[in-house]
Structures are given as C-alpha cells and as structure tokens.
Chains A and B, each alone.
Chain A
Amino acid sequence: MNPIRNDAFLRADGRKGIRNTVVVVYLVECAHHVAREIQLPFREADVHLIGFGGCYPNDYSFRMLQALCTHPNVGAALLVSLGCEGFNRRGLLQAIRSSGRPADTLVIQETGGTRSTIERGRDWVREVKRQLEATPRVPMAARELVVGTVCGGSDGTSGITANPGIGRAFDRLVADGAVCIFEETGELIGCEQIMAARAATPELGEILLGSVAKAAKYYSVLGHGSFAPGNADGGLTTQEEKSMGAYSKSGSARISGLIKPGDVPRAGGLYLLDVVPDGDVRFGFPNINDNAEIAELIACGSHVTLFSTGRGSVVGSAISPVIKVCANPETYRNLSDDMDVDAGRILESRGTLDEVGAEIHRLTLAVAAGAQTASESLGHQEFVLGYKSFEPIGPACHPTYAV
C-alpha cells in the first residue's frame, strides 16, 4: 500500500476520514437557530451545521442524516430537537452511537429553551472536540478514497474542458482502486445506450437504462425537457451530444454499479448515483440545487467532491471538501479566489485535457491528505436536505460485489 497520508482519522467502524469534523444537526427548522448558535463559535474549528427542516418524518431524510452523521469525515454528532417534530431522533442517536461515535441529543423543550440549550450545546462541543484529539491516526491509500462529481452553473465550455478533465481524473482514480461516483440521470438522457454498454454486466446495463428512463419520465411530468434551442446556438446539435458533455465527467472506466442516496459502495470502481425518486412524482424537483446533490454524494461516502462549473459557482459543503474545476478561463480570472483548477486554460492553449486531468487527480489526493480547498478556506459549509422517496436497490445493481 502506497499511502497518500499517514495520519487519516480511523473510526471505530473501520472507515477512514480525511477530516475530523463535529456535526451539529437540527432535526426540524424550529431547532435551526439554536443549532446554528451552538455551532457559531466553532465554525472555523471543524464544527459544521447540517439538518433537516421538515416536521413530518421521511425515510429518505432519516437515511441521509444517518449516512452523513456516520460519514468517515465525521467524528461526533450533536442532535438538536425542538421536541415535538416527527423525526425519529432516538433511532438516529442509536445509529450514530452504534458506529462508535460520541453523540448526544438536546431537546430544546426539555432543556429550558433557547439560551440554556445553546450553552449546554457549546459545552458538549468543547468537550467532544477534546476527545476527538485522541482519534487514532493511520495510513490511508488512494484506493480507500471515495470521490464524487457534480456540475453546476454550466456553460458552453463545461463539456469541452472541465467535464472531460474530471473524466480523465476519474480514470486515474479508478485505476488507483478508489470509488468514483457520478450522478444526475436527468442530464444523461440520450447517452443511456452508450452508458449501458459500459456496464459490468448486461443486467446492470438494463438497470442503467431504466434509471435514465425513470429520470426522463420524472422530468417530463415536471414539464422540463432537456434540449433547449439555446443549446444549438452554443454549437450543440443533438440531445445525445449535449448529454455526452455532462456524461464525460464519468471518464471511460467500466461501470461497476448503480447506487441510491445513502448506499456506500464496498469495492473500488465507477458507480452511477440515481438521484431521481422512485414511484409517482412527489415532493417536486429531485434536487432543488447543486448542494442537494453534493449532500447525496457525501451520503454515499464521498470524501471529496469534484465540482465542474463554467459560469462560476462559489459553493463548498459541510462534511466533505469540494474541489472547484473551472471550465471557462474568463470566469476563472473573474473568480480565481473561489476556484481550485483552471481547466479553461485548455481553450487558451495553456494546457491539454490530459494535463488538466492529471492536475485534478493530484489535487484530489492532496486535499485527501489535508490540503484545504478554496471553498474550505473561504468558510463555505453549504448544506440542504429535502423530502424524497426511494425503493432499495437490488443485488443486480452491484454485480461486482459477488465476485
């Protein structure tokens, strides 16, 4: 094993983290302010705020928070409940504790209200941060990494610089033995046959086709087509061409499986994350913004997310660092503080796709080894979680586990 670092954070469940974060978790919007106040003095000390705003229980949001609170980058979790919301706080606390992490719940209605809950919460965080200093530190190899990718604020340059550059980085990471995850089946309409041909088994190929068909149906009910007249002005001629631009983030490796939010792949390889809910259209848009997708990639174990942007998104994320790969050289000059990789330099003959791919790969390993990303250093810790519903995946979704 050739380690990328010798001081990764070993969790009691055996998984390894690249950050040692405490999460403060509101379990309903009514507890958001108290949770934020608890976190505020520690916001530059690896204490992040996440949560779920809804009052009514939902299996998906429970599963998401469980996966996030037991993510390898998370060392401990403090749950903040108002007291009367529908969220299963006992189940979540039990799940976090059984992963070996310190965890506790403060119920505002039982703790004397806002002021005393904030005080108790800050004391708890201070104490648990002391405990986390003793987290065992161990070597970690590239093949133990989970890396996700997403695009947001795309423009005409995204599909020719940043996205294929990330694809080349993914090829290198898959060769290292890492888990790589791409997503947004709604943007893959038109290249599902090409994608299915890359599946590890014919059965998985059928499942990949089905996931894109589901997305097409879901978005058409919402009244959203994928190919717009403006696309042709930008030089895109066909639906399959447009989708290939987004799909090129996946690189060229064999596709090892299909997962859904909260499923953590158990073996290295390339995975498609199906983010579109199962069943009838409910709860509106599958993901209301880019951060909802990033949260799902993290719930699938992503230690790092590679974010392709043309127009210039500035976001980061709670829990796992986001590397921003800027597709457009003008945007890079305009927002250079927010960007990690100048992939648009390809358009100005200052680099090739292979060089950009190699740089993204190197930077991913450096960030995994502890280097800060632009959004981390600027304090970005975005997080959002909404309602959804999913059916569990079947054994044919991850055929490579059987061998």
Chain B
Amino acid sequence: MCVIRLSPLDNIVVLTRSVQAGDIVEIDGRSVSMPQALGLGHKLACRRIAAGEKILKYGVPIGSATRDIEPGEHVHLHTMQSDYLPTYTLDEARLFKGAR
C-alpha cells in the first residue's frame, strides 16, 4: 500500500512513498499504472472528478479541478487551481472590522 486517505470525504489520496513510471498503485481496490515518476506527498484522484469540482483533502476544499480528472490521475498544478482569495491584499481597515 503506498497511498493514504486523510479523510473519508476526500476525492484524492496522497502517495506515501515515491513511485516510478510503470509502477502499479492500488487505489480503493483499483490498480492504476503510473505514467510518470512522482514523489511522496503527491496527490492522485481516487474517483472521477469533473472540471470545476472541489478537490477535497483533510475533508475540506483545497482548490478546484481545472479539467476533468480520471481516477488514479495525478492531481497537481496542471489539473487544479487555488480558490483562495488573498484577502489580506484588500483594504486592511475593512478586514479588521470586528477584530481587536
């Protein structure tokens, strides 16, 4: 076993060791052949994820899919993007409303 699911809600799993191209990785009982080498910590889809769908890790959204992602496919900069709005670049005065 070389992947870990951090929350039951997640649609991705995380590699617990590095893999080489051609290695077979088991994800939820499905065998997936790795098209490329990937290091520990990289994410693989554990089901089909549609373009625009949230990527869930630790049970929370960490960004959105930028295209359809197949089960077992690498989920990274080429398939997803951040949803995070860096609010701290906005007007500070408004942000500190209610905070001391």
Q: Do A and B come from one complex?
A: yes
* Chain A residues near B (Cβ < 8 Å): 156-157, 159-160, 164, 189-192, 194, 203, 206-207, 209-214, 216-217, 220, 232-241, 244, 247-248, 252, 278, 346-349, 353, 391-394, 396-397
Determine how close the nearest CB of chain B comes to the CB of A21; give it in whole angstroms: 33
Q: A160-B16, A213-B92, A217-B88 are in contact. Are A237 and B75 (CB under 8 A)?
A: yes
Contact of B63 with A by CB under 8 A: yes
Contact B99 A347 (CB under 8 A): no
Which of A164, A238, A394, A396 touches B6 (beta carbons < 8 Å)?
A164
Within 8 A of A (CB), among B81-100: 81-84, 86-88, 92, 95-100
Determine how close the nearest CB of chain B comes to the CB of A328; give it in whole angstroms: 9
Contact of B37 with A by CB under 8 A: no
Could you list some 6 contacts between A and B, CB below 8 A? A160-B6, A237-B82, A239-B84, A241-B62, A278-B100, A353-B6
Contact A391 B100 (CB under 8 A): yes
Instruction: Flag B1-44 by CB within 8 Å of A: 1 or 0 each.
Output: 10010100000001111000000000000000000001111110
Contact A244 B63 (CB under 8 A): no
Determine how close the nearest CB of chain A comes to the CB of B40; give it in whole angstroms: 6
Which residues of chain B come closer than 8 Å to A346, judged between CB atoms? Answer: 4, 16
Determine how close the nearest CB of chain B comes to the CB of A315; give it in whole angstroms: 25
Alpha-carbon distance A189/B95, docked complex (angstroms): 14
Counting chain B residues whose Cβ lies within 8 A of the other chain, the interface size class is 35 or more
Which residues of chain B come closer than 8 Å to A217, judged between CB atoms? Answer: 88, 92
Contact A240 B96 (CB under 8 A): no
Contact A160 B41 (CB under 8 A): yes
Q: Is the interface of A mostly helix, strand, loop or mixed?
A: helix
Alpha-carbon distance A396/B98, docked complex (angstroms): 9
Which of A156, A216, A237, A392 touches B77 (beta carbons < 8 Å)?
A237
Which residues of chain B come closer than 8 Å to A212, judged between CB atoms? Answer: 88
Determine how close the nearest CB of chain A comes to the CB of B49; give it in whole angstroms: 13
Closest B-chain residue to A391, C-beta based? Answer: B100
| Of listed B39, B61, B83, B98, residue having the most chain A CB within 10 A | B98
Q: A211-B99, A237-B75, A349-B1 are in contact. Are A189 and B62 (CB under 8 A)?
A: no
Contact of B80 with A by CB under 8 A: yes
Alpha-carbon distance A207/B97, docked complex (angstroms): 9
Contact B63 A237 (CB under 8 A): yes
Q: A157-B40, A347-B40 are in contact. Are A213 and B87 (CB under 8 A)?
A: yes
